[in-house]
Amino acid sequence: SDYKKGLEYNFKAYEIRKYLSNPAQLLSSLSKLGVCYSELGEFENATKYLLEAIEIVETNNWENRYFQVYDNLGGVFKEMNRYETALIYHQKAYDYALKSNNTRARYTILVNVAGAHRNLGNIKKSIDLHMEAEQGIKEAKDFRALALVYSNLASLYSMEGEFDKVLFYSRKSIKIYEDLQNIDGL
């Protein structure tokens, strides 16, 4: 999580990969640069590199990678409080994830779509999407993502004033985070 150091090394890799003209490796560097900049709160730089990554996947018609870069860009727009734009990119990512064989990505991206709806005030839609994601995440046995879904549902039901459901989902989330020994989640 030393993103400044990550930038330093990823820029070195980026320069080498640009010289080698290997679009798949260049895509990896661009995505990592975008994520590092996003984590540092430098959203304009993050957007710049992620848009360059999108250009590579679109130029090469790599539909199996679209969902990754679109979802990352949606996350940057969310951090910038540009929720409508975030929803557009998360939804694009989800649409491509549906075409892939990556079940885990499909449902974790659906959680991001649900989060974008929450940020736009569409609480009931967000709840419905979280419930849909819950089943797929259970099947994928991604317990960390499942704990997040339950935590998000607790928050959403709190906004709706349904405190019995807040307690129900909070307890489910806490149990998983304890089992995983995930201090951040707790």
> Which run of H or E residues covers position 27?
helix 23-39
Q: Is the pLDDT of residue 154 over 90?
A: yes
70-94 residue pLDDT tens: 999 999 999 999 999 999 999 999 9
**CA atoms within a 13 Å half-sphere pointing along the CA-CB vector of 144:** 8
18-58 residue pLDDT tens: 999 889 999 999 999 999 999 999 999 999 999 999 999 99
Q: Is the pLDDT of residue 1 over 80?
A: no
Residues 6+ apart with CB under 8 A from 138: 146
Q: What is the pLDDT of residue 100?
A: 86
CA dihedral (35, 177, 140, 85) positive or negative = negative
**pLDDT category of residue 17 using cuts at 50, 70 and 90:** very high
Q: Is the pLDDT of residue 63 over 90?
A: no
Dihedral in degrees, nearest 10, Cα atoms 160, 81, 134, 127: 20
Q: Is the pLDDT of residue 14 over 80?
A: yes
